[in-house]
Structure 1
Amino acid sequence: MTHDRNTPLLDAALQAAERGWYVHPLRPGGKAPALHGEDHCTGTGACTTGHRKWEQRATLDSDRIRGAWSLKPFNIGLATGPSGLVVIDLDMPKPEDDADTPSGVDSFKALCERAGQAVPATYRVRTPSGGMHLYFTAPTTVRLPSSKGKLAKRIDTRAWGGNVVAPGSTINGQAYEVTDPAPVAALPAWLQAALTPAPAPAQPVRIQVPRFGNRAADAALDRETATVRTTTEGGRNEQLLRSARAVGRFVAWGDLPRHVVEDAFQAAGESTGLPAAECRATIRSALNWSIRTCRPRGATA
C-alpha cells in the first residue's frame, strides 16, 4: 500500500505521465536518479541485454509508477528527450560566480531583446533556488541534445540526454512549483536555430583502423563501424550499441585494444550526427556488457 507521505509525489508523477511526460524516480529530496548506475548493474531484470540508463527506463506506465512511489517518497525526474520536451533552465548565480553575474532569468530576457523577440509565454516552473524552468515542445525535424551555457551563462537546456526535476518534488523542503500553467508552447524557431547542432559531414568519415594481426577481429571492426556510419536517424544509437557489442568479444579475448575499438566507434557514431557524449556512453555500456558476458574463445554453449 502507498504510504500517505508518498501520495502527493505519486499523484504528481501520475499527472506528469498523463501529459505524456516520461518519469523516473530521483532520490528522495534530491536530484540524482534513484536507479542503479552502470558500475553497479547486475545485468538482470530490465538490464538483461545490457545496462539501461534512466532515460531508457523512464516510463508512462501507471502501474510501474505506482509500484516505485509506493516504496519511497522519490522526487520525480522527467526524461525530456522521450517526453518530446525542451526545457530551458534559467539558473541563479553560484557562489563562485563574479558578483555582477546576472541570473539566467535576466540573461534570457536580454537574449530575447537582442533577438527582437518577446519572452515566450509557456508552462513555467519555479525552482527552489529561485530559478525558472520554461517548458517547450521539441521540434520534430531535428533531435536537439541538451546543452550547458550554449545560449548564455546560467542558461542550460534539457532535451535528449537530459532530465529535469518535476513539479511537486522538493529540495531541502522547498518545492518545484508551477508558476504559469499555460499550455506548453512550441520551441520558437529562433531558439531552435540557436540550439541546433552543426550538420554532420556530407560524406561519411573513413576510419583507418589499425591492424593487430587478427584478421577476424580486424574484419569485424571494419564491418561494424561501416554499418554504424551508414545507419540513418532513428536507429543510430541502437545500431551503435549492437555493433560495439559484436566487436566487444575481441576486446575480451585480447585481439583488439579497448581504446582502439572505442575510438573507432566514437568516430563512426559522431559521423552520423550522434552527440559525442551519447556515443561515449553507449560504447562504454556495450563493451562493458560484452566483456562481462563473453565466453572463453572456443567455448560451446
Structure 2
Amino acid sequence: MTQPSDYREHLMAAALFIAGRRWPVFPLRPGGKRPALHGEASCPRTGPCADGHRKWEERATTDPDRVRRAWSAGAFNIGLATGPAGLLVIDLDVPKDNTDAPDGAANFRALCERHGQPVPTTRTVRTAGGGTHLYFTAPASCRLHNTAGKLAPLVDTRAWGGYVVAAGSVIGGLPYETVGPALVHPLPGWLQFLLIPPHPVVRARAAAALRNAPAYARAALCNEEENVRNAPVGCRNATLLRAARALGRLVASGDLSRSAVETALRRAGQTAGLRDYECRSTITSALNWSIAHNSGRGAA
C-alpha cells in the first residue's frame, strides 16, 4: 500500500497511465470523489475556459503535459470521464446501511440468470468501499448515459455525463485497484438493449394504433393499466403478469397492437414502482405466452 508521502507521485503515475490508454482524466479532491475543478461561479475565463466555462467532462484530458501540471499541484484522486473515453462502466455497489440485503454483484448475477446470459468478464476495478466497476467499450451505434438502478438494485452505469473514480485512487486509506484481467470487452448486446431509452416514435405509433382499436379493447386496456398502477407492494409483478396475459388475447385477435399494450403496461408498472427492466421482462414473456396460446383460436 502506498504511504502518504508517496501519494502525489503514485497518483500522477496512475493518471498518466490511464491517459496513455486514451481515457480522459481530471483531478478529484484529495482522498475524495468530487471534482477538484472550479465551478462556473468562480471560473477565471482563462486557459481551457477562455471561450466560456467548461465543465469537468469537457476539461478531462489525455495530454500528458496537462496531467503532469494538474497532479503536480496536489495528491488528487483520478476521475475518468467515461463518455469521452468511449466506455460504459457498470457500478456494482454494496448496501450502505450494513444490512444483509443482496449487493449489486448478487443482483447483477441474478439479472444475467434471468436473461439466460453468463456474467460478462471484462476489466474489473475493486472500489475502496468494497464494490466493483466493470469496464466495457460503449457501442458506437448509440450514445448511452448514466443510469441508477435501471438494470437492478445497487447496479448503476456511468457513460456520457458521468465519471468513475479510477484505479490508483485512494479513499479512506483504501485503494481502487484493478483485479483480474485488464482487457476491456464490448458491452454485451443484451445489456445494451436494456439500457437504450424507449424511442418516442414507438409511443406515438402505439397511441395512433390505440385510437383505431374497438371501444371494448380500449376499455380493457385502461382497466388493466389501472390495476397495475394501483397494485400494492408484493403484488405488483403478479398483477402486471396477469394484465399482460389478459391483454395478450386481444393482441392475438388483432383488437390491440402489441406496441400499445407494451407502452401502457410499462408506464403503469413504473408508476407502481417496478423498475423498467422488470416491466419489460415480465410483459414480454407474458405477451409471448398469451399470444402463442390464443393465436388461431376460433378459426374455421
Same fold (TM over 0.5): yes
User: Alignment partner of 2:54: what SS?
Assistant: coil
Aligned pairs (5 A) from 1:229-244:
none
C-alpha separation between the residues in 1 aligned to 2:25 and 2:17?
10
Aligned pairs (5 A) from 1:26-65:
26-65=28-67
Which residue number in structure 1 is paired with residue 85 of structure 2? 83
| Per-residue deviation, residues 11-63 of structure 1 (Å, max 9, x unmatched) | 11111011111100000100000011123223333222221000000000000
- C-alpha contact 1:90 1:156 (8 A) present in aligned 2: yes
Which residue number in structure 2 is paired with residue 135 of structure 1? 135
User: Alignment partner of 1:14: what SS?
Assistant: helix
Structure with greater Cα Rg: 2
C-alpha separation between the residues in 2 aligned to 1:5 and 1:146?
30
Which residue number in structure 2 is paired with residue 92 of structure 1? 94
What is the letter of the counterpart of residue 169 of structure 1? Answer: S
Deviation at 1:181, TM superposition (A): 2.8
Deviation at 1:112, TM superposition (A): 0.5
Percent identity reads: 60
Which residue number in structure 2 is paired with residue 168 of structure 1? 168
Which residue number in structure 2 is paired with residue 20 of structure 1? 22
Which residue number in structure 2 is paired with residue 154 of structure 1? 154
Which residue number in structure 1 is paired with residue 102 of structure 2? 102
Which residue number in structure 2 is paired with residue 118 of structure 1? 118
What is the letter of the counterpart of residue 72 of structure 2? Answer: S
Deviation at 1:200, TM superposition (A): 4.4
- C-alpha contact 1:121 1:182 (8 A) present in aligned 2: no
- C-alpha contact 1:22 1:83 (8 A) present in aligned 2: yes
- C-alpha contact 1:22 1:60 (8 A) present in aligned 2: yes
- TM-score, scaled relative to structure 2: 0.64
User: Alignment partner of 1:101: what SS?
Assistant: coil
C-alpha separation between the residues in 1 aligned to 2:100 and 2:126?
22
C-alpha separation between the residues in 2 aligned to 1:84 and 1:9?
22
C-alpha separation between the residues in 2 aligned to 1:135 and 1:118?
16
What is the letter of the counterpart of residue 132 of structure 2? Answer: M
Deviation at 1:167, TM superposition (A): 0.4
C-alpha separation between the residues in 2 aligned to 1:201 and 1:46?
39
Structure 1: runs of 5+ lacking an equivalent: 203-301
Which residue number in structure 2 is paired with residue 9 of structure 1? 11
Q: Over aligned residues, Cα RMSD in angstroms? A: 1.9
| Per-residue deviation, residues 219-239 of structure 1 (Å, max 9, x unmatched) | xxxxxxxxxxxxxxxxxxxxx
Deviation at 1:101, TM superposition (A): 2.5
Deviation at 1:4, TM superposition (A): 5.0
Which residue number in structure 2 is paired with residue 179 of structure 1? 179
- TM-score, scaled relative to structure 1: 0.64
Q: Going by fraction, where is helix more abundant, 1 or 2?
A: 2
2:70 is aligned, of 59, 68, 71, to: 68
Which residue number in structure 2 is paired with residue 279 of structure 1? none
Structure 2: runs of 5+ lacking an equivalent: 203-300
C-alpha separation between the residues in 1 aligned to 2:185 and 2:43?
38
Aligned pairs (5 A) from 1:261-300:
none
